[in-house]
Structure 1
Amino acid sequence: MSLKCIRSFELELDRSDGAVYSGGEVLSGQVVLDLNREIKVRSMKVQSRGVATAHWLENRSVGMNTACSDYTSKETYFRKRQHLIRDNGDVTVLPAGRHEFPFSFQLPEEALVTSFEGKHGSVRYWVKVKLHRPWSAVRRIKKEFTVIQPIDINTPALLAPQAGTKDRLARVWYRNLGQVSVTAKIDRKGYTPGEVIPIFAEFENSTSRTVVPRACITQIQTFIARGTMKQKRSVVTAMCGDAVAPLCRDSWHGHAIKIPPVGPSILHCRIIKVEYVLRVFVDVPGTSKLSLELPLVMGTIPLHPFGSRTSSVSSQYSLNPSWLCLTAPDQPEPPPDYRTIVPEEDESEQSPTPPSGEEDFSGALEQPLQAFVQEFRYRPPPMYCEVDPNPQPFYMRPRCMTC
């Protein structure tokens, strides 16, 4: 039968193109079949799959010859199938016109990994439809969709500070005797794209040559197949500091490096991992670079305002300070009479008393700042009067008559 009998054969997802799914959600859509005239269909089925694949080739020497080794591994997260027209041994006749066949799949809750495309592997999710007709070629449609598993950086492990120290001795024959050391620290491990990482570092140059400190964020892609590992490193952003003169030291007090738009970390896949590190290094003349790496995790859920105390104030670059005006009324009301709120017998108790040296105020700093703002927001001022309620007796100093 001529293919012209099918005007269109399309696969539509209920969400628009570019939509992102996560584990536990429902993937739904419909197959649209528009016919110029009636056709006979044996079966039509739709299936959805999620697969991670790693693959690369390596040349190795075997005696005098060179052999090519193929490294391949695959991990399937789910595979579901649904029959839209079941093959019962007979054909189904579809009349001319537009036909819609809805379908839906429940994605697994925890087994999914974020979609990824790398040099030696990928994590892909797709929906495929197959149309079988008698005495005709099989018609196929395939549409991919994106899955992102959320990573919340508001956890103790990802809010912990990261620090390290390294040193290296320069080579003597390069006339650069001495040692270079670097110490770096960041306030947490988890970040999201668009945030700024403040770097605190110290560089000590005990050599006779000038050294240049630098920093960069590196993405590390790791592929595993047949017990062999393949890695690919790429720099996503970098910065350069001021040169450190011989026998001098320099410090970074929160040098900022901004995270560009990058994919989230992939840490729970058996054959593919995507990791990030903050690399602080120094170019030392006459020797290899002195490099210090601090691990990073790129998440999808940003840091909550007033987060854990383990994150320092310098980590709040990307926070929105709009909370300051959330509790402020548009038009403040005039304060009430002070004596109608505080009785006379309680006025003595309202007066502040100096704290004793034994009192502990450490717990007060752990409370939310907004609680203190609410506590003092509606405290009315005392009454004001220009007439002194307790006048002092007027006393005139007697004038000396001899003057």
Structure 2
Amino acid sequence: MSLSSIKSFSLELDGPADAAFTVGEAVSGQVVLELRRDTRVESMKVQGRGVATAHWLENRGMNSVYNDYTSKITYFRKRQHLIRDNGEATVLHAGRHEFPFSFQLPEETLVTSFEGKHGSIRYWVKVKLHRPWSTVRKLKKEFTVIEPIDINTPTLLAPQAGTKDKMARAWYRNFGQVSVTAKIDRKGYTPGEVIPVFAEFDNSTSRSIVPRAFITQTQTFIARGTMKQKRSVVATLCGDIVGAKSRETWHGRAIKIPPVGPSILQCRIIKVEYLLKVCVDVPGTSKLCLELPLVIGTIPLHPFGSRTSSISSHYSVNLEWLRMAIPEQPEPPPDYSSVVTEEEAEQRNHAAAPQPADDLSGILERPLMAFVQEFRFRPPPVYSEIDPNPQPINMRPRCMTY
């Protein structure tokens, strides 16, 4: 049988092209086969898979031998026969044939789809068509899976704060102490939100300092007990110069989260983590950096989730007045090397094995799409201690006397 008997062979998934799935949902579609004439088919099957893979090569010696570091985790594997192999070929008549299929994603946690420099988390549907005395025809189509991360939880709604100080020295001379205190209203955010940064910079030195804030992304890949990391700066905020023997305060300076992918914390071989770094550049000495952990979620903050978090919730949602502080064309983020202190760099060099230098330009290999789950129910009404519909005084019941 010649290949010309097949006019077209395609795989179509139901729903929009950019649809995202989550745990327990059904992935459905159809395989469309158009034939010019009657064709014998042995079997046709569709397979759904989800796999996380980490892989890189390293050359640790002067020779040309490379060590292969590979690890893999299969999250699900399902198969469905569209035409079963019963020992005899099935004859399909000329024309158009549609074979629907559907399978359900596991109820267990599925990690968000991801593409990185040293690994990926991919989900796909593959179809194989077997015919007598012919090569196997294959089709493959990837789809996106999103792990729901609801930031409306006590852990992610908790404020994050810290203090750090350092004695500025150059050679044998002390210039004085620099201290940084910073706070953000919560740990969890979604892409597109603005983080109000509250900070205080106390400059007791004889030199001027420059405060800055960064949002950094760290991709961690693990294989054969070895770790590989890639760090990028995804957003930056530069403050005003703080003169010698003076103090500067940030009353909610705004730094906006760009459209980055959500945090990945549940995968054993690939992790994506975020930090807010509040740093001070001191001329003539190393940087002082304070780190506050961030979790980028997929389910946005509910403005009326609870009364206890009403202050932080309303402050984070009603930020119209802060939009004027966000430039229309923000300056490009700096290199990650400009954010890391010398002590941190030295500790990481001793902790990790020698590795080729990564490109820390702040530009990711492929843009990561962040999908935000929409609310399907109306939010509950706002609680109020004042009766919105008071009765007139003459309509109120009076006490009866006898």
One-letter amino acid matched to 1:249: R
Preserved contact between residue 160 and residue 310 of structure 1 (Cα < 8 Å) = no
Report 1:224-373 matches (<5 A).
Answer: 224-308=222-306, 311=309, 313=311, 315-317=313-315, 319=317, 370-373=383-386
Counterparts of 1:317 and 1:261, CA distance in 2: 21
The CA deviation at 1:257 is: 1.0
The one-letter amino acid of 1:379's match is: Q
Q: Distance in 1 between matches of 2:195 and 2:318?
A: 16
Mark the CA change 1:68 to 1:378 in structure 2 (over 3 Å): closer, same or farther: same
SS state of the match for residue 157, structure 1? Answer: helix
- Aligned residue identity for 1:266: I
Which residue of the other structure, out of 214, 217, 220, is the alignment partner of 1:219?
217
Going from structure 1 to structure 2, the CA distance change for 1:369 and 1:8 (only over 3 Å counts) comes to closer
Cα distance in 2, alignment partners of residues 163 and 307 from structure 1: 23
Q: Which residue type is aligned with residue 32 of structure 2?
A: V
Distance of 1:279 and 1:94 partners within structure 2: 63
SS at match of 2:156: coil
- The reply on whether 1:28 has 2:28 as its aligned counterpart is yes
Q: Distance in 1 between matches of 2:159 and 2:307?
A: 11
Specify the alignment match of 2:390 in structure 1: 378
C-alpha distance in 2 between matches for 1:147 and 1:82: 20
CA contact (8 A) 1:167 1:290 kept: yes
- What are the ranges of 5 or more consecutive residues in structure 2 without an aligned counterpart? 320-380, 396-402
- 1:16 Cα deviation after fit: 2.1
Query: Do structure 1's residue 11 and structure 2's residue 24 form an aligned pair?
Result: no
Residue type of the alignment partner of 2:385 = F
The alignment status of 1:169 with 2:181, answered yes or no, reads no
Instruction: Provide the TM-score with structure 1 as the length reference.
Output: 0.79
Residue 157 of structure 2 aligns to a residue whose secondary structure is coil
TM-score between both structures, scaled by the size of structure 2: 0.79
2:145 — aligned with what? 147
Alignment of 1:80-95 (within 5 A): 80-95=78-93
Residue 270 of structure 1 and its aligned partner are, at CA, apart by 0.7
User: What letter is aligned with 1:229?
Assistant: M
Letter in 1 for 2:238: C
Contact 1:176-1:286 within 8 A present in 2 as well? no
Shift of 1:278: 0.6
User: Deviations along 1:195-254, whole A, 9 cap, x unmatched?
Assistant: 111111111112121110000111111111111111111111111011110111111111
Structure 1 SS opposite 2:81: strand
**What CA distance in whole angstroms lies between the structure 2 residues aligned with 1:139 and 1:249?**
70
Q: Mean alpha-carbon deviation: is it higher for 246-255 or for 309-318? A: 309-318
Whichever residue aligns with residue 74 of structure 1, its letter is: K
What displacement does 1:112 show?
0.8
C-alpha root-mean-square deviation of aligned residues, in Å?
1.9
More deviation, 21-30/312-321: 312-321
Using the TM superposition, give the Cα deviation of residue 109 of structure 1 relative to its aligned residue in structure 2, in angstroms. 1.1
Alignment of 1:53-92 (within 5 A): 53-61=53-61, 65=63, 67-92=65-90
110-119 vs 71-80, greater mean Cα deviation: 110-119
CA displacement, residues 344-370 of structure 1 (integer Å, 9 cap, x when unaligned): xxxxxxxxxxxxxxxxxxxxxxxx863
1:125 counterpart residue number: 123
Report the CA distance shift for 1:42/1:80 in structure 2 as closer, same or farther (over 3 A).
same
Sequence identity percentage? 76
Deviations 1:172-196 (A, max 9, x none): 3286621211111111101111111
> How far is 1:381 from its partner?
6.0
The CA deviation at 1:97 is 0.4
- Which residue among 104, 113, 134 is the counterpart of 2:111? 113
Determine the C-alpha separation between the residues in 2 that align with 1:318 and 1:65. 55
> In the TM superposition, what whole-angstrom CA distance separates every residue of 1:137-196 from its partner, at most 9, and x where no partner exists?
110000000000111111111111111111122223286621211111111101111111
Higher-Rg structure is 1
